[in-house]
């Protein structure tokens, strides 16, 4: 029996862009389209995206619908419809392509409710659409995810301050099958290439101090905003253990773990593959550190029975505010130090290499909860 290799697909911004292109074509010439071409920009190639429906819905306004296809990836957006409404812009519109988030597109709590349409998605939409416009023409594009609000309840978006829908997030148009062994190999290959460059550059210039392990797209986006060199960033998804060992084998001098506390806290409990279907233990680990520091039993019970790690953090913060205590800093300092030590031990055990590890733990609003001492030293050099 021949087993087909896993197939890649495309990310949500690509389908949103395809729908917008189709709607714009309808405004110029009202006729159905089967497919449109989208320049992915990253990677530099063109994708042919099927169009499910397109129609005019008012004077100077059209709606087009595509459907998400992430390939052989465990992606909850599979087959979800993506709508784009395109209308001619008015004279007061300042941008040639004005982007709006409609129903199902999340709002960023820490950005004044701005639509969660991030840099790559904006670039993809604006560059593809502006090429189809005359210099004096302007359009308004509203992206709608009809199932977005419902699907968002099954994501960790709220942990990063995105509510009421999904994000148009990502740095590439290709959706890789992240859950497959082949994707781990791709991550390892990327790590090896960046590690080789890191070590080579250190011989001719002041050494780059570390590689930065970002657990997901939110962490990648924030690290980039903070000024960390993309050549030093590695997206790990849930493959933290294998990638730590790969970094050790490549003799990387230091690693900065950068991500949401609800993921990284698992490392403090010795869980090195962080997908929830393998193991959780977040509240147990957090409760154990609280107990080690002597918090009273009622507090331990409240932490242990919290709905999520974020809810437990919120409870501890309220406790600090009420009692004038400093439990959040103390507990998370202990957790960060444990993460660093466990990762260093794990690398040493499986690669026989000494690698310095520091950590930065973020909350749901993408604010830093705590930085370990080694993490602080690395972060000051990286930014």
In sequence order, which residues have a C-beta less than 8 Å from that of residue 367 and are 6 or more positions away? 110
CB 193 within 8 A of CB 231: no
Residue 383 has pLDDT above 90, yes or no: no
Rounded to whole angstroms, the Cα distance separating 23 from 53 reads 9
What pLDDT sits at residue 215? 87
∠ at Cα 138 (137, 142), nearest 5°?
145
The string of pLDDT tens digits covering residues 41-52 is 999 999 999 999
Rounded to whole angstroms, the Cα distance separating 173 from 305 reads 40
Mean local confidence (pLDDT), 176-190: 72
In sequence order, which residues have a C-beta less than 8 Å from that of residue 241 and are 6 or more positions away? 272, 273, 346
Q: How confident is the model at residue 203 (pLDDT cuts 50, 70, 90)?
A: low
The string of pLDDT tens digits covering residues 111-170 is 889 999 999 999 999 999 999 999 999 999 999 999 999 988 877 677 667 889 999 987
CATH 3.30.2110.10 boundaries in the chain: 9-175
Residue 2 has pLDDT above 50, yes or no: no
What pLDDT sits at residue 1? 38
Residue 26 has pLDDT above 60, yes or no: yes
Helix (H) or strand (E) holding 197: helix 181-204
The string of pLDDT tens digits covering residues 233-276 is 998 888 899 999 999 999 999 999 999 999 999 999 999 887 66
The string of pLDDT tens digits covering residues 283-339 is 999 999 999 999 999 999 999 999 889 899 999 999 999 999 999 999 999 999 999
What pLDDT sits at residue 11? 92
DSSP string, 238-294: T-HHHHHHHHHHTT-SEEEEEEEHHHHGGGGGT--S--TTT---HHHHHHHHHHHTT
The string of pLDDT tens digits covering residues 332-376 is 999 999 999 999 999 999 999 999 999 999 988 788 999 999 999
The string of pLDDT tens digits covering residues 223-236 is 988 999 999 999 88
CB 247 within 8 A of CB 355: yes
In sequence order, which residues have a C-beta less than 8 Å from that of residue 119 and are 6 or more positions away? 221
CB 10 within 8 A of CB 70: yes
What pLDDT sits at residue 350? 93
- What percent of the chain has a predicted confidence (pLDDT) above 70? 93
What pLDDT sits at residue 79? 93
In the chain, what is the straight-line distance between the N-terminal and C-terminal CA atoms, in Å?
51
The string of pLDDT tens digits covering residues 72-120 is 766 788 899 999 999 999 889 999 999 999 999 999 887 889 999 999 9
Rounded to whole angstroms, the Cα distance separating 355 from 248 reads 6
What pLDDT sits at residue 3? 46
Give the pair of three-digit tokens for residue 166.
């999904």
Assigned CATH topology for domain 9-175: CbiD-like (3.30.2110)
What pLDDT sits at residue 106? 94
What pLDDT sits at residue 171? 80
Mean local confidence (pLDDT), 167-178: 78
What pLDDT sits at residue 221? 84
Which residues partner with 258 through β-bridges? 214, 360
∠ at Cα 176 (198, 83), nearest 5°?
125
CB atoms within 10 A of CB 131: 9
Mean local confidence (pLDDT), 61-79: 88
22 or 90: whose pLDDT is higher? 22
């Amino acid at each position: 029996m021949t087993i087909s290799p896993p197939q890649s697909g495309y990310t949500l911004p690509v389908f949103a862009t395809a729908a917008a292109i189709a709607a714009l074509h309808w405004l110029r010439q009202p006729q159905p389209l089967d497919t449109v071409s989208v320049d992915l920009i990253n990677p530099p190639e063109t994708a042919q995206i099927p169009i499910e429906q397109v129609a005019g819905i008012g004077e100077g306004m059209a709606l087009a619908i595509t459907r998400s296809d992430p390939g052989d990836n465990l992606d909850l957006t599979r087959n979800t419809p993506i709508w784009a409404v395109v209308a001619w812009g008015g004279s007061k519109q300042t941008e040639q392509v004005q982007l709006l988030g409609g129903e199902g597109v999340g709002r960023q709590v820490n950005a004044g409710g701005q639509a969660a349409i991030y840099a790559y998605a904006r670039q993809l939409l604006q560059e593809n659409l502006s090429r189809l416009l005359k210099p004096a023409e302007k359009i308004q594009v509203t992206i709608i995810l009809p199932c977005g609000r419902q699907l968002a309840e099954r994501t960790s978006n709220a942990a990063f301050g995105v509510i009421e829908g999904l994000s148009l997030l990502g740095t590439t148009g290709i959706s890789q099958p992240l859950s497959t062994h082949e994707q781990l190999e791709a991550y390892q290959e990327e790590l090896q290439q960046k590690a080789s460059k890191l070590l080579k550059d250190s011989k001719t210039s002041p050494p780059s101090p570390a590689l930065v392990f970002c657990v997901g797209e939110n962490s990648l986006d924030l690290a980039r905003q903070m000024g960390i060199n993309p050549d030093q960033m590695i997206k790990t998804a849930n493959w933290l253990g294998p990638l730590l060992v790969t970094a050790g084998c490549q003799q990387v001098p230091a690693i900065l773990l950068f991500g949401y506390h609800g993921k990284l806290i698992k490392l403090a409990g010795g869980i090195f593959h962080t997908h929830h279907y393998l193991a959780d233990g977040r509240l147990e680990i957090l409760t154990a550190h609280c107990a080690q520091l002597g918090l009273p039993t009622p507090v331990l019970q409240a932490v242990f029975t919290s709905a999520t790690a974020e809810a437990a953090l919120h409870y501890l913060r309220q406790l600090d505010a009420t009692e004038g205590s400093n439990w959040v800093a103390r507990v998370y300092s202990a957790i960060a130090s444990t993460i660093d030590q466990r990762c260093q031990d794990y690398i040493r055990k499986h690669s026989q290499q000494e690698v310095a590890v520091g950590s930065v733990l973020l909350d749901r609003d993408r604010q830093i909860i705590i930085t370990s001492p080694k993490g602080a030293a690395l972060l000051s050099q990286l930014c």
